[in-house]
Structure 1
Amino acid sequence: MNSFFKILKRFVPPYKKYVAGSLLSNVLSTLFSLFSFGAIIPILQILFGIETASYSYQAWSWTESLGHITSAWKNNIFWFITSTIHEQGAIATLAFLGLFLVVTTFFKTGLSFLANYCIVPIRTGVLRDLRRDIYAKVLSLPLAFFTEERKGDIISRMTGDVAEIENSVISSLDMLFKNPIIILIYVLTLFLISWQLSLFVMVLLPVSGYFIGLVGKKLKSRSLTGQQQLGQLLIRIEETLGGLRIIKAFNAEKKMKESFAETNEQLRKTFTRLDSRYLLAHPMSEFLGTVVIAVLLWFGGMLILTHHSHVTAPTFIYYLIIFYSIINPAKDLSRAVYSIQKGMASLERIDKILKAKNTLTIAEHPLPLPAFHEKIEYSNVWFKYQNEWVLRDISLTIEHGKTIAIVGQSGSGKSTMADLLPRFYDVDQGEILIDNINIKDVQLYELRALMGYVNQEPILFNDTFLNNIKFGVDNATEEQIIEAAKIANAHEFILASEQGYETRIGDRGTKLSGGQRQRISIARAVLKNPPILVLDEATSSLDTESERLVQNAIDQLMQNRTSIVIAHRLSTVKRADEICVLHEGQIVERGKHEELLALNGYYKRLYDMQSF
């Protein structure tokens, strides 16, 4: 329950007025229910003619004790009823009592509706805030967080776990704001009627509560297992959708179906046990409540029949009605507790995202970085993802307007060098400077605004050509977008599509060829017009014709910009101002193309292998 109250403390404060409205309405609704039940006593006394006492009006004030006020109210109510019987007759009095019952029930049900109505904005608002915070947190976390998490499991937390919280935790808000109030007021009323009977009940309730608690004991752990298995199922689905081409090419449909079926069956068994235990809560609490009622009926009847209690038979029936009215709120409260236990597992999985620490240190007083004029400098940079060093003592200066190429075998650290510049990751030792300012001392937004990216695998969205090109540049005009597409050699094939720039390109641009996707990615970088450009294997996966078109687009994009080019194909970096050769995380050679060939070292070997 501590986690539940923490989530309330975290999300409910913006909805304080709705909480206050719900609590006040529940208190008033409960009081009106007591008044409506109270009409039973005089009705029974009139019907059975068992009231023979005479009453006179008794004065009282708010400064007196609670017992005296209660006694005075009870006396005056019976005085009014007996006076009405004498003046109007028993039948007329019954009509008045029936009208009183109708009026109090109307207010009771109306206030109960108002209390539930106040809960609706809280439920929907808290859920909206939770989704918003998770999504915002996912966007703010560094890439290092996602290298240790599987995408399918994160999707499961953002969908399945949020749905579970909605179904269990959030849906229990009305029960938790309503039922404790009802139970508290009813219990106080029971003690005012007869403290002996109420003490006897207080002995019975913990025993029944113990048995009810046994049902919900393992709900949280089993629910956690179920949500983890659901995450595995979504991982299977995500991997299947992403790898359909390979699955079909290797005739692996049967293997994938068997793997999915195994995970799916484990999930079914877990939720079967979980739901069975959850469903047991309602009948068990109802049965135990009936047992308590039966024992109470015996005990109270014995006290009345043996004249060991001041409680009369009609008052005892009123007592039983109030006590029986506690059972449903108590059942709902126990069900809410079970639901919360069931949902806490999902909340813990979501909190793993919400409470994840951002490893990127943000400067308290960031320095301004409005533009880029002089140079980029890697100064004695060391970096590792986990245990092994990926980059070792990298020192490199990139002058403004120059093109630097980084080459080397796979795994040498080329892409990692590029990823450190926009602070996708932070260096472990050393520093990276732009115009002699450490990139850790500036705002991330200003730092990344200086850069444009063209990756080996173009990242496009299931949207139109126009929206993909202007992604991140909201104020771009249509003329600027078209000009960017022309520079990227993309304008012609965009116009040839069904709806031109308004044509949707499919999930990740699946309706386009590899070269077309890459040219859209280049057009996006052209439109951003960044002073620093990073090209990460931008042509390595293309055929010769597509590579020529993309390379022409890249050549236009690189004009008058500071460029960092990562390449396997050495033919694309011949014209670079400087080529750096990485080997096992270190710069082992640097210079122009002809100079490196003359060294007859690492670069010469790479060049000869590609020439061959």
Structure 2
Amino acid sequence: MKHFFKILKFAYKYKYLALLNALLNIVSVLFGLFSITLVIPILGILFGTQERVSSAPEGEISSQWVSDYLAYKLTNIIESVGETGALGIICIVIIIAFFIKNLARYFAQYSLIPIRTSIVKDIRRALNTKMSLLSISYFSEKRKGDLISRMTTDVTEVESSIMNTLGVVVRDPVNIIASIVLLMTMSVKLTVIVLFLFPIAGLVIGKIGKSLRRKSNKGQIQMAQILSAIEENISGLRIIKAFNAEKQINSKFEEELKKHQNIMSSILRRRDLASPMSEFLSTLVMVVIIWYGGNLIFESQNDEAISSLSPQSFIGFIIIFSQILPPVKSLSQGYYSIQRGSASAERIIQVLETEIEVKENKNALPLSDFKQSIRFENAYFSYDEKPILKNINLEIKKGHTIAVVGQSGGGKTTLANLVARYYDLNEGTLFIDGKNIRDYKLHDLRKQMGVVTQDAILFNDSIFNNIALGIENPDSEKIIEAAKIANAHEFISKFENSYQHKIGDRGHKLSGGQKQRISIARAVMKNPPILILDEATSALDSESEQLVQDALTKLMANRTSLVIAHRLSTIQNADEIVVINEGEIVEQGTHDVLLKNKAHYHKLHNMQNLS
């Protein structure tokens, strides 16, 4: 339940709407009970047992005083218009009371709608904001489908289960309490029986609810597995078809579906047990009340000295008690819904309470311009206790191009990620212009950097918006100029909508070379002093590589560049080449110097020449 209350914190800023909802629900309950109590004098008139009170009651106000006063007013009405007229007046009052009750109930629900929709919006916004702040390592550990599931199905589950119960949180408890108070004024003995039996029913319902929550958690985890499988199948569809693996993949997916079906069947069976179980238990209580109350009436009829319920009051008691059953039933269903939704709430809270590893210091310094150098000093970095970089000492001076080469998995990309502060070092220090990188504002730091990766990350939008990513009110002329520098303007102009051409999901409507040139145009548009190129040409054919390499050469002019390279031919003119092997720098120098050393770089160079 603690996760349920954490989710309800999102409702705090809508407290005034919630207060209005509570007040309207109270009005609805009071008018509902008032209309039902008017049935008692109707029965008295019909049975000829209505007590006549000729004088107004005196003394302090109490339940008996109220009863005598109503009897006095009813006596006046009967004497004025007769029993038939009195019956008609009471019926009209009941109609008005029920109308006000339902009108208040409608406006209570009306006031709840903006709370419900706003909370769901706020939860999704909070999740999206949190995910944008989490470090890259978090997403390496989690499956995409699981995160998508938390943003979609879990939030929807919270909306449908927990938010749906907000309407009954005030109305039903108030209805039950007010009804019990009214019943106490009619018969203490019968009400005590009600109060004794209802908690027993509540214990039975609560036990079922706990098992429902456990199953619901498994159901949400399994749904995340299904979404992950869908995402992987769509992304890898070409490979699946190429290897004729449709049957194998579909078989695995069928297994996931069956697991989900079994879990959901169990959940639905338990949830559907809520209504009949609560109704059956309530009926048992009703039968006990009828049996005991009937005996009280028989006793009073046999012995007039015994003061007990009148027949019409007893029937009124049963009618009022029957009005407790729907809210009790509704609360039991709401409890089940909360238990089911709490599993989703827990998964949402897990994301929201995840510690942000890469944090900005409270008094972080601004960084308006890169002036001197980037320097690693005795730097160590591990991932899941596995050493990735060890004792890195490296300086990248402003305006220089530093290329990093080495075997796959050696730590080259991790080095670049540390410069962009996607991760923080475990030991040692990374300096920017002589100050620890952790001392700068993250926004200012990343504003100094442009990134071009091996896999061009593009969005399902226009070419214009992809190039202008992160720039407010971009100038169209500057967009075109950036595209020309990136050798992209020519092919963009051939599209019917030119720069407004939609490139599809991850840019699938473009070739690899075209995507990479748009990625370079995006970096040109940002115009950063520091450039990080992570194997930007390794996945291209020779013709595309030449165009992209030419664009990169233009981009790197007069910038500080950190180039992660697989093809050594692309970095021969670098100011310095750094060779990393198993997380350590094993060689540094220019292309010619390293070849003369005949060590690691010489070996890599010969291997590529042979291939």
Range into which the TM-score falls when normalised by the shorter chain? over 0.9
**Alignment deviations for residues 424-472 of structure 1 (CA, whole Å, 9 cap, x no partner):** 0000111111111111011110000000000011000111110111011
Paired amino acid for 2:36: F
The question of 1:74 aligning with 2:73 is answered no
The alpha carbon displacement at 1:59 in A equals 3.7
Computed over aligned residues only, the root mean square deviation of the Cα atoms, in angstroms, reads: 1.2
Tell me what 2:548 maps to.
550
> Which one-letter code corresponds to 1:32 in the other structure?
F
Counterpart check, 1:5 vs 2:5: yes
Among 91, 97, 106, the residue aligned to 2:84: 91
1:396 to 388, 394, 397: 394
1:287-366 counterparts in 2 under 5 A? 287-307=280-300, 308-366=306-364
- Supply the AA of the counterpart residue of 1:367: L
- Quick one: percent identity of the two aligned structures? 46
**For each residue in 1:577-599, what CA deviation from the matched residue of structure 2 results, as whole angstroms up to 9, or x when unmatched?**
11111111111111111111111
- Tell me which of 94, 110, 125 is aligned to 1:132: 125
Q: Alpha-carbon deviation of 1:52?
A: 4.8
The CA deviation string for residues 532-569 of structure 1, in whole angstroms up to 9 with x for no partner, is 00000000111111000000000000011000111011
- Please give the residue correspondences for 1:42-57 in structure 2 after superposition, counting only pairs within 5 Å: 42-57=41-56
2:483 aligns with 485
Structure 1 contact 405–566 (Cα < 8 Å) conserved: yes
Within 5 A, what are the aligned runs for 1:71-470?
Answer: 71-307=64-300, 308-470=306-468
CA contact (8 A) 1:414 1:566 kept: yes
- Counterpart of 1:33 in structure 2 is 32
The one-letter amino acid of 1:153's match is: D
Among candidates 575, 580, 583, match of residue 581 of structure 2: 583
Aligned-residue offset at 1:309: 4.5
2:303 corresponding residue in structure 1: none
The answer to whether the Cα contact below 8 Å between 2:3 and 2:349 also exists between their aligned partners in 1 is no
Deviation of 1:416 (Å): 0.5
The CA distance in 1 between the partners of 2:237 and 2:195, in whole Å, is 63
Q: Distance in 2 between matches of 1:213 and 1:397?
A: 64
Q: Is the 8 A contact 1:381 1:391 kept in 2?
A: yes
Q: Which residue of 1 aligns with 2:514?
A: 516
Q: Deviations over 1:337-390 (max 9, x none)?
A: 000101111111111211100012321111121111111111111001112211
Q: Distance in 2 between matches of 1:405 and 1:466?
A: 31
Deviation for aligned residue 1:284: 1.6
Q: Which runs of 5+ in 1 are unaligned?
A: none
Aligned to 2:534: 536
Helix, strand or coil at the partner of 1:89: helix
* 1:84-117 deviation line (CA, Å, top 9, x unaligned): 2122211211121111111111111111112111
**In 2, Cα distance between equivalents of 1:146 and 1:114:** 44
Number of equivalenced pairs: 605
Question: Within 1, Cα distance between the matches of 2:195 and 2:461?
Answer: 64
Q: 1:410 to 1:525 in 2, by over 3 A?
A: same
Q: Residues 196 and 469 (structure 1 numbering): CA distance in 2 closer, same or farther, change over 3 Å?
A: same
Q: By how many angstroms is 1:75 displaced? A: 0.9
Residue 566 (structure 2) aligns with: 568
> Match of 2:474, as an amino acid?
A
Amino acid in the other structure paired with 1:372: F
**Counterpart amino acid of residue 138 in structure 1:** M
Give distance in 1, aligned partners of 2:576 and 2:53.
111
Cα distance change on mapping 1:441 and 1:338 into 2, 3 Å: same
Alpha-carbon distance in 1 for matches of 2:272, 2:465 = 49
In the TM superposition, what is the alpha-carbon distance from 1:160 to its structure 2 partner? Answer: 1.2
Tell me: CA distance 1:259–1:52, structure 2 relative to 1, closer, same or farther (3 Å): closer
Structure 1 distance, partners of 2:203, 2:564, is 66
Letter in 2 for 1:579: I
| 8 Å Cα contact 1:567/1:573 also seen in 2 | yes
- In the TM superposition, what whole-angstrom CA distance separates every residue of 1:445-504 from its partner, at most 9, and x where no partner exists? 000000000001100011111011101112321000000000000001001112111111
Q: CA deviation at 1:198?
A: 0.6
Give distance in 2, aligned partners of 1:104 and 1:441.
Answer: 67
Cα 1:52–1:405 shift into 2, 3 Å: closer
Q: Alpha-carbon deviation of 1:211?
A: 3.0
Residues 78 and 52 from structure 1, CA distance in 2 versus in 1: closer, same or farther, beyond 3 angstroms? closer
Using the TM superposition, give the Cα deviation of residue 214 of structure 1 relative to its aligned residue in structure 2, in angstroms.
3.7
Instruction: Say if 1:168 and 1:339, in contact at 8 Å, map to a contact too.
Output: yes
Q: What is the SS of the residue equivalent to 2:389? A: strand
Matched residues in 1 for 2:77 and 2:481: separation? 92
Q: In the alignment, is residue 23 of structure 1 matched against residue 22 of structure 2?
A: yes
Deviation of the 1:22 alpha carbon: 1.1
Change (3 A) 1:541 1:457: same
For 2:446 and 2:119, the matched residues in 1 are separated by: 33
Deviations 1:225-283 (A, max 9, x none): 11111111111111111111111111111100110001101111110111011011111
Please say if residues 303 and 309 of structure 1, whose CA atoms lie closer than 8 Å, have aligned partners that are also in contact: no
For 2:554, the aligned partner's letter is Q
| Cα offset, 1:70, TM superposition | 2.1
Q: Give ranges in structure 2 of 5+ residues lacking alignment.
A: 301-305
Partners of 1:238 and 1:2 in 2: CA distance: 32
Instruction: Please list the CA deviations of residues 32-60 of structure 1 after superposition, one character each: whole Å capped at 9, or x if unmatched.
Output: 11211121121111112113543311245
Q: 2: distance between equivalents of 1:118 and 1:167?
A: 17
Counterpart-to-counterpart distance in 2, 1:73 and 1:448: 74
Partner Cα separation in structure 1 for residue 102 and residue 470 of structure 2:
53
**Partner residue, 1:595:** 593
CA contact (8 A) 1:462 1:506 kept: yes
Supply the distance in 2 between the matched residues of 1:538 and 1:133 (Cα, whole angstroms).
Answer: 34
Separation in 2, partners of 1:208, 1:541 = 67
Distance 1:246 1:52 in 2: 88
Question: Which portions of structure 1, spanning 4 or more consecutive aligned residues, are displaced by more than 3 angstroms?
Answer: 52-55
3-state SS, counterpart of residue 273 of structure 2:
helix
Secondary structure in structure 1 of the residue aligned to 2:343: helix
C-alpha distance 446-223 of structure 1, shift in aligned 2 (>3 A): same
**Secondary structure of 1:80's aligned partner:** helix
Distance 1:285 1:167 in 2: 21
Whether the 8 Å CA contact 2:42–2:87 is kept in 1: the answer is yes
Amino acid at match of 2:355: K
Residue 209 (structure 1) shift: 2.5
2-structure distance, mates of 1:540, 1:139:
28
SS in 2 for 1:4: helix
Q: 2-side partners of 1:260 and 1:463: how far apart? A: 31
Partner SS state of residue 470, structure 2: coil
Query: 1:6, 1:232 → 2: CA distance?
Result: 26
Query: Would you say the 8 A contact 1:55–1:75 is kept in 2?
Result: no
Helix, strand or coil at the partner of 1:304: helix
C-alpha distance in 1 between matches for 2:150 and 2:37 = 50
